[in-house]
Amino acid sequence: MSSVDSQQRVLSGMRPTGKLHLGHYHGVLKNWVKLQHEFECFFFIADWHALTTQYDDPSGIEQSVWDMVIDWLAAGVNPGSSTMFIQSQVPEHAELHLLLSMITPLGWLERIPTYKDQQEKLREKDLATYGFLGYPLLQTADILMYRAGRVPVGADQVSHVEITREIARRFNHIYGREIGFEEQAESAIVKMGKKNAKLYRTLKKRYQEEGDLEALDTARALLKEQQNISLGDRERLYGYIEGGGKIILPEPQPLLTPESKMPGLDGQKMSKSYNNYIGLREAPDSVAQKIRTMQTDPQRVRRTDPGEPEKCPVWGLHKVYSDEATKEWVEVGCRSAGIGCLECKAPLIEAIVEEQRPLHERAKEYEGNPDLVHSILQEGREHARDAARDTLEDVRAAMGLSYR
Ligand code: TRP
Ligand code: SF4
């Protein structure tokens, strides 16, 4: 697969933490659903990643896996448009992790911010383990395995995509060198013809000297158009733009998932650990109950007291769910004590229940039919393994491991 096609590949993963909530839906899953129509998408359940912190009690992982896949499917991640699988069922990830560990300096792992942060945060656990230190490298293997050019992640995971880029660069630098690489690349340039050769050299220079990413893109597009150079030459010239040898593992870019604007029931960010969430597949009655018992502006004790929406978590949800007219009605009605809080909450309950209706519909098909869910993951696994084996074959060859 050429470096250009890798721009069409998206890979992302999620730890199995159990049922998802509306924060996940608005933040991550709606984005995945959109991406699956634009790119070739691989989405996987990172059960090995869960073990890096839950090794002492893995009992909940299996149930979490099923709950999470059904949430993905309910949200509209579509097995016809994307590949969904469980990490541990594609053991090739472990082999790539091992091989990459050979070239990974310890210092790179130790200085990733999440390493110290998480150890601090999860004080009660002993995270001074080999697996925990190496988990960003496992993530590196997850990404490079599919030669994914784009990786949707939240801001907290950008440093992991960054180390992935560094490892890919190091790998290509060490193993992408063929004898006579430079000479071969130079003669390939000549084969493109005078005009294209000159353009290629200018773009290469602009990228190497000024880090101009547009020049990189243009140079890649130029190579893609060339009819009169061989596939091997084309690959060589992709690598040559960036200065190194042949690109075996392309460097991915993070696709930053916009920070979820979804507030929880208490006005803080919606999160499982704050217990302020509405489940993605929460039953309508339970949604209504949770909204009705939400705290409002603490100054608004009696129905006749005017309130201030900015001090009320209910307003935060209106900002996500309500149209301009409704928001106007809330602001005016709240500040003048013209509406009561229950009244104010009613359109919100309706909007959330309405949003969830198609999710429940889709989930229904899977909830009572575990075989269907298994077969989706089975198919995903086969497809993922084919792609994974392709990459591993190249990696093994580059590292001198293709015995015959
Ligand atoms: N580490 C990610 C998290 O905790 C999950 C993950 C594992 C992932 N492998 C990945 C995300 C590869 C993107 C790409 O959320
Ligand atoms: Fe909050 Fe609405 Fe009550 Fe105002 S009227 S305090 S915005 S719930």
Pocket test for ligand 1, best of 28, 41, 145, 153 (most atoms within 8 A of CB): 153
Q: Looking at residue 2, what is its pLDDT?
A: 54
Closest atom of ligand 1 to CA, residue 152: 13
> Are the beta carbons of 73 and 43 closer than 8 angstroms?
no
Intrachain domains 6-176+369-398 and 284-366 with the same fold: no
Nearest CA to ligand 2 atom 4: 334
**Residues framing ligand 2 (Cβ under 6 A):** 296-297, 300, 307, 309, 312, 314-315, 330, 334, 339, 341, 344-345
Residue 324 pLDDT > 60: yes
* 142 Cβ inside 6 Å of ligand 1: yes
Q: How confident is the model at residue 228 (pLDDT cuts 50, 70, 90)?
A: confident
Q: Which residue has the higher pLDDT, 246 or 302?
A: 302
- As its CATH architecture, domain 284-366 has Orthogonal Bundle (1.10)
In the chain, the amino acid numbered 324 is: E
Q: Looking at residue 160, what is its pLDDT?
A: 97
Tokens of 249: 């593992």
Q: Looking at residue 1, what is its pLDDT?
A: 54
pLDDT in tens, 232-251: 899 889 889 877 678 899 99
* Proportion of the chain in helix, strand, coil states, percent, rounded to 5: 60, 5, 30
pLDDT in tens, 153-198: 999 999 999 999 999 999 998 998 777 888 899 999 999 999 999 9
Its pTM stands at: 0.88
Domain 6-176+369-398 belongs to what topology? Rossmann fold (3.40.50)
Q: Is 303 exposed, middle or buried (0-12, 13-18, 19+ CB in 10 A)?
A: exposed
Per-domain residue ranges for the chain?
6-176+369-398, 181-241, 284-366
Residue 4 pLDDT > 90: no
Q: Looking at residue 68, what is its pLDDT?
A: 98
Tokens of 255: 């696709």
> Are the beta carbons of 391 and 147 closer than 8 angstroms?
yes
Residue 29 pLDDT > 90: yes
Nearest to 18 by CA among 279, 269, 270: 279
> Are the beta carbons of 191 and 289 closer than 8 angstroms?
no
